[in-house]
A and B are shown apart, each in its own frame.
Chain A
Amino acid sequence: MFSSRYWKFFFEETGNIARFAGRLFSQWGKPRYEIAEFFRQCYIIGYKSLPLVTLTTFIMGLVLTMQIRPFLVDYGVESQLPAMVGIAIVREIGPVITALIFAGKIGSSIGAELGSMKVTEQIDAMEVSGTNPFKYLVVTRVLAATFMLPLLAILGDVVALYGAYLGVNMSGVTSFELFWAKVFKYLSFSDVLPAFVKSFFFGFAVGIVGCYKGYYSKKGTEGVGQSANSAVVLSSVLIFIIDLIAVQITDVLNLN
C-alpha cells in the first residue's frame, strides 16, 4: 500500500517527535521557570480561542439535535432527545470537535509562529540573550495547550448543550429545567471523567506537534507555511488516534 520510503518517513517522524517530547519532559521541571510566559500563552491559547470554540460548539449542538430528532420521532422516543444528545456531546463530540477546532487555530499558529522565528533567527537571538529558547517557547506553549484545551472542552460541552436546548425547542416546547434534568439523568461521572482526561492528551498533542513542526521548520517562507499546515494535519490525526486509544481504555476499565 505504501512504499518503504513512506514507512521510513513515518518512523523517523514518530521517533523525532518522541525525542522532542522527551526533551520537554526533561526540561519542564528544571529552573528557570517561565511563569510569566506560561500565563501569557494561556491567555493567547485559551482566552483568545473562546469565541471560535463557543460559536462552533453552539452550532454543532444545535445541528446535531435537529438531525437526530426525526429519527427519534419515528421510533416514538422523542422525549429521549436531550439524554441522547447530552451523552453524545459530553462523551465524544464536544471534546473531539473542540480539539479539532483547537488544532486548526492553535496548532497552525504555533507552527507558523515558531517557524517564522526560526527562519528569521529570532530563536538564535533568544539563545544568545541568556534564554533557553526551548523552555521559553516550547515548554510554555505545550503546557498552556495541555491545560487550556480541557477547560475549553468543558465550555464547549456547556455551549453545545445550550445549542441542543434551542434545537429541542425549535419543534416543540421543553422547559430549561426539564431539558437539563433529562441530560443529567443519563449522564454519569464515568461519562464526564474519560472525556475530560483525554482532553489533556489532545491539548498536549496539539502543543507538541505545533512546536515540533515550527521549531524544526526548514528555511524560507515556504517552510513556515509547511510547518503550519503539517502541524494541523498531524495533530488532527493524532487527536483521532488518541480518541481511539481512549475508548479502548475506557472499555477495559468498564467506564462505558
Chain B
Amino acid sequence: MYQTENISEQVQAPGNDEVVMVVRNLSKSFGSNQVLNDFSVTLRRGENVVVLGKSGSGKSVLIKCIIGLLKPDSGCIEVFGQRIPDLNAEALDAIRMKIGFLFQSNALYDSMTVRENLEFPLRRHSILLTQEEVDQLVKDALADVKLEHTIDMMPAELSGGMRKRIALARTLILKPAIILYDEPTTGLDPITAREIIDLIMEVQKKYHAASLIISHDMNCVRMVADRVVMLIGGRNYKEAPYEELIQSDDPGIKAFFE
C-alpha cells in the first residue's frame, strides 16, 4: 500500500526554489532482495541533486520508479503534485512530458537516424506541431549538444560520447522541468565525461531544470552536485553538500572519496 498522507502542499507549481518532486519512504524489492528501503529525496526547481551509491545499490531502480517504469512496493512519489504510481496511462504520459530521462545505455533507437530519434518523443506525445516546428526543435536540441552535423547519421556511426550527447539532446527536446540522469558519465573517457558534465551544467543554467543525477563518478558528483544524497543498503545514509561529505570521518562515506 502507498502512503496515504497528503504531501501535495510540499509539491507546488513550478517556480523558483519550489519543490517539484518528493520521494518519501520508497521501498522496492525483487523477490527476497530488498533494493530500496524507506528511501526519501526531495528535488527543488533548478537544483542538481546527486544520488550517490555503490553499483547495485538501487539507484537505477529509484529513477525507474520515479518515471513509472517500475512500481514501488510502498512509499510515495509525487511530481508536480501528482502521485506517479496512481496515475493512469494518459496522465502518466502527460507527466512524463515534463520529465526527461537520460538512460545509462543512451537507449537510442538503432533503426532510426539521429533526426528520427529526436523527432520520436515529439510525435509520440501527441503534440500538435508543424513539420517546420519539429525541424526547428530538432535543430535547436542538436545545437545545444553541438552535434548539428550528425542529424542524418545512424546511432551506430557515432562514438560513445556522441551517442550520449544525442541521447541528452533527445531528453532535452521536450524542454523538461525535471531531468533524471542515470550514470551519465559511466563508460566514457575522462575528456568526454567532462564534456557531458559541462553539458549537464549548461542545461541547468539554460533551462533552470531540476536534475536528479545517479552516479558513482566522484568527479561528476563534485562538479554538478548542489546536494548529495548517499544511498547505502537501500536507505538514506547521509544528505549534505559535497564539500561537507568530503570532510566526513564516517568510514562509509570516506570509502567513496578515497
Q: Footprint of B on A, CB under 8 Å?
A: 113, 116-117, 120-122, 124-132
A121 shortest CB reach to chain B, Å: 4
Majority SS of interface residues in chain A? Answer: helix
CB of B125 within 8 A of CB of A132, answer no
Collect the chain A residues with CB atoms within 8 Å of residue B120's CB: 126, 129, 131
- Least CB distance, A238 to chain B, in whole angstroms: 27
| In the complex, residue of chain B having the shortest beta-carbon distance to the beta carbon of A125 | B107
User: In residues 100-121 of chain B, which contact A (Cβ within 8 Å)?
Assistant: 101, 103-111, 120-121
Q: Contact size class for B? A: 20 to 34
Residues of B in contact with A (beta carbons under 8 Å apart): 64, 67-69, 89, 93, 96-97, 99, 101, 103-111, 120-121, 124-126
Asked if A125 contacts B103 (CB within 8 A), the reply is yes
A-B contact pairs, 27 of them (CB 8 A): A113-B111, A116-B110, A117-B110, A120-B105, A120-B107, A121-B103, A122-B107, A122-B110, A124-B64, A124-B107, A125-B101, A125-B107, A125-B109, A126-B109, A126-B120, A128-B67, A128-B68, A128-B69, A128-B96, A128-B99, A128-B101, A130-B93, A130-B97, A130-B124, A130-B125, A131-B124, A132-B89
Docked Cα-Cα span, A132 to B99, in Å, equals 17
Bound state CA distance, A128 and B64, in angstroms?
10
Q: Are B124 and A129 in contact (CB under 8 A)?
A: yes
Residues from chain B with Cβ under 8 Å of A127 in the complex: 69
Interface centre among A117, A122, A132 (most CB of B within 10 A): A122
List, in ascending order, chain A residues with CB within 8 A of B107's CB: 120-122, 124-125
Complex: A120 Cα to B106 Cα, angstroms: 8
Known: A125-B107, A125-B108, A131-B124. 15 other contacts (CB 8 A): A113-B111, A120-B105, A120-B106, A120-B110, A121-B103, A122-B107, A122-B110, A124-B103, A124-B107, A125-B101, A128-B67, A128-B68, A128-B69, A128-B101, A129-B96
